[in-house]
Chains A and B, each alone.
Chain A
């Protein structure tokens, strides 16, 4: 058994049998009360970006629109992330109830779950639960329907505006922002788009009240978080842990005793080397001490047998292929980074070329159109800077 520095929580996956009661109780409350609870709870988006959920619902509620939509983002494509699949398998009703309450708050009657094509095997089961959910809605007389929209294999569709484009029958190319989804989302109408886990958490908040949620975690990072643990670990899998944990403790619990780096937040996240485990805390960038890293929940552990060059190479191959291709920094930049590290490795470019690539990554971060291109620099720079020798020799 692994060590247990960190407390395992059981909020999300706890099978609740009182869904009907919670939903009925919650949608009878005023919109303002629901929003207040969410804001007090400190819940932030669990997809990785960490936008306050209560604020998102509030803004969409205030936006004018003939129609409004609630969308559950189940296009879980970040390498190393598989928690949403598990949530949708084990507790889909919590997600649906979260969507219904959101619909009440913003005034929507239609919701969608954008399910990635790779998870099509969940579809039949999910549709059955949705049918039950619709029966429940009919029973309590709430006018709301949820439909599953199936993706077809494109990582970028997890980006919210690309997801809308995809649902509207287009290539999944991110839009310019502003406007933001709460003003102009799906069909250019006010839309709340939340991650699967975020919606599941709202259920706990409605059931147990905001304080219980707020008691978990630290400062700007409240509540629990579902982590997808993979890589060089004897215990890969899905774990619900408290926000604000130190990476050191995490590695002690989950590593194989030889961890040299942890990739926090997937291919688009940061790579933390062993020497920084102690001062790295998992949570949103707030007033935490040391370095804090937000994450969609992906934790990949690498032991000393791994070549970080190979790791970075694999990430870059992923981005080169999954970039939508519309904006220059992302389309061309990802190719240049990949070919660049290959050229340095082969000795065709001097090691100083890595500095040029670091600058390029930084420019991609500030110029790319969406989160994909902007965040390539995260893994690139953190790996190249911390494992420079591995890039060259």
Chain B
């Protein structure tokens, strides 16, 4: 890499060729304000907040979009620059419904920060908001889109396009009418939106936010008739700390459990338990499909089988590849398995009437809110999961309750559905479900541990876009003799843009995999739309390390060895893929339109 020498604010700096002025300034710890810029997304150069002056040049340059060039002399804080930035911020504020004190993003809005920094006064430009028609789309159970707060930075459009290759959101119209819109400006719940929340996670203002259920949860907690059960997803415990003032990559499982008890939840349980259960059901389903294909030569058996735990992925395939719905595992996601069991098995165990139980989940995910509201998710006879909170909403509740999170002592989950294994923890990272499934399936088939050092199946880990791994099955147990010598081929993709790459190959018949893991979000659930803001590659890598650290520290690391899972089959479910399982733990999918 060749080096470029330039001068920024009278100081010489040398950066790699191809760096932008913004990156060069960052290297020197000069903070240039940005709005449309996001590290995960391509350069836009739309908002014009990051303008800098090039000495000798009349017009200013957008530092995010301008490559550093040899000999450049840049000023990041000249009067001209300050005036221009202030003018741009003033313009943005004038088209933004700046009712900050009543806004969900109050205190976390990037435009609010900038207008405070640049002292945008009241005596300003004409307020454009009352002059325009705008819509607030609050029809979706997971995402609220409020056009009156949109500053047209297009981070959402780029997230939806580049990370997810969905394009549910696009820029529509031009000039003063230009806006971010879905197909024909339909409500988000009607269109191809997967509810993944990657847009929500990157929106600098309150234009795209999660639908929050904080007040509903507080009301339920306050109701003495109700028994509140809460489950926490694997990826929450490694990110919650970020929203409460901690560095990324800290594991806060014990503190989180303690906080949930303080908030008033009656049973603090773990989605990890049902993640282990998912592995048993899904693993057995895979083996059954393999038998159907290899032994019975049943043409109706669909392979490759794909995972089904990511609700964003499910909605995506329902819209985009309805012809492949037969390939999706029928196993419900851990959240919904948990929900179905909470109001049946668990309610019975603790002697609570299911109608008096309120089942809450804490998820790194906005799509889980939609999933919980699917009409088919009533296997218990009730709504299986009543209310879904994101990691961010839980953090907000902890703050509202005045809990000093950092000072909390670690506590343990309650029992019956609170025990989990390392295999469940890694569900939160891309490749985790695959690794957990292989740890179990290989042992079921051969009676031996997977042939990877320390059970760590490294080929499926990491941030590579599409990962492949295969395991050759040798000397299986007699029941699985037909698998002798079979090379089990797997594929892992995270982010729906990568999922599309894999599924297009499946459609064309070019993919000879047996099992595919797909997570809708970049990095898997740890990069979910409901996780603390901000997110970027570095933060996601820190969260990943925390997850594998938690796995390595667990006494039990294989789902089928989870004592509570063994117990639930003994006492209640009888056997994997059995009658009860089908009733409570499996589901079906719906073909949806393409827009």
Contacts and interface: CB of A to CB of B under 8 A. Distances in A.
Interface stretch (A19-27, A125-133, A266-274, A321-329): A321-329
A369 B49 CA distance: 12
B51 A367 contact: yes
Interface stretch (B80-88, B205-213, B319-327, B484-492): B80-88
A239 B177 CA distance: 37
B59 A374 contact: yes
Interface string B408-420: 0000000000000
A87 B16 CA distance: 48
A374 B61 CA distance: 13
B91 interface: yes
B91 A332 contact: yes
A392 B219 CA distance: 58
A366 interface: yes
Interface in B404-463: none
Interface string B49-75: 101000000111010011100000000
Interface in B87-102: 87-88, 91-92, 94-95
B59 A343 contact: no
A276 interface: no
B415 to A, nearest CB: 56
B174 A171 contact: yes
Contacts of B66: 176, 178
Given A333-B91, A366-B60, A367-B88, A327 B46 contact: yes
A154 interface: yes
Interface string B164-205: 000000010111111000000000000000000000000000
Contacts of B131: 339
Interface residues of A, number: 37
A336 B47 contact: no
Given A156-B174, A328-B88, A329-B88, A366 B94 contact: no
Contacts of A325: 152, 171, 173-178
B401 interface: no
A325 B176 CA distance: 7
A340 B126 contact: yes
Main secondary structure of the interface of A (DSSP, over half): helix
A356 B87 CA distance: 10
Contacts of B152: 325-326, 328, 331
Contacts of A216: none
Interface string A330-353: 011111100110010000000000
Interface stretch (A1-9, A32-40, A74-82, A357-365): A357-365
A225 to B, nearest CB: 25
Contact of A328 (B46, B60, B67, B125): B46
User: Which of B60, B152, B176 has most A Cβ within 10 Å?
Assistant: B176
A320 interface: yes
B495 interface: no
A369 B46 contact: yes
Contact of B175 (A324, A340, A360, A369): A324
Contact of A329 (B48, B58, B95): B48
A164 to B, nearest CB: 16
A331 B176 CA distance: 6
A311 B173 CA distance: 26
A335 B127 CA distance: 11
A343 B95 CA distance: 17
Nearest to A325: B178
Nearest to A173: B171
B45 interface: yes
Contact of A368 (B48, B65, B126): B48
Contacts of A324: 174-175, 178
Contacts of B128: 332, 335-336, 339
Contacts, number: 117
Nearest to B91: A332
B28 interface: no
A158 to B, nearest CB: 14
A369 B50 CA distance: 12
Contacts of A343: 126
B178 A331 contact: yes
Nearest to A172: B174
B94 A320 contact: no
A328 B62 CA distance: 12
A176 B65 contact: yes
User: Which of A156, A331, A332, A343 has most B Cβ within 10 Å?
Assistant: A332
Interface in A156-179: 156, 171, 173, 176, 178
Contacts of B44: 326
Nearest to A326: B46
Contact of B43 (A156, A176, A329, A366): A176
A323 B91 CA distance: 15
Contact of A367 (B65, B87, B174): B87
A366 B80 contact: yes
Nearest to B92: A328
Interface string A362-383: 0111111100001000000000
A323 B46 contact: no
Given A176-B62, A339-B126, A363-B87, A327 B48 contact: yes
A332 B126 contact: no
Nearest to B123: A356
Nearest to B173: A325
Contacts of B271: none
User: Which of A178, A333, A366 has most B Cβ within 10 Å?
Assistant: A366
A329 B83 CA distance: 13
B159 interface: no
Nearest to B51: A367
A323 B48 contact: no
Contacts of A171: 171, 174
B543 to A, nearest CB: 32
B111 to A, nearest CB: 11
Nearest to B43: A176
Contacts of A321: 174-177
A332 B94 contact: yes
Contacts of B94: 332, 336
Contacts of B67: 178
B154 interface: yes
Nearest to B53: A366
A87 to B, nearest CB: 28
A365 B58 CA distance: 9
Given A171-B171, A367-B87, A369-B45, 16 more contacts: A176-B62, A321-B175, A323-B175, A325-B175, A326-B44, A327-B48, A328-B49, A331-B175, A332-B94, A335-B176, A340-B125, A340-B126, A356-B125, A365-B59, A367-B59, A367-B88
> Which 5 residue pairs are nearest across A and B when measured between Cβ atoms?
A325-B178, A363-B87, A332-B91, A176-B65, A176-B45
7 contacts: A319-B175, A323-B176, A329-B88, A332-B95, A336-B125, A339-B131, A367-B60
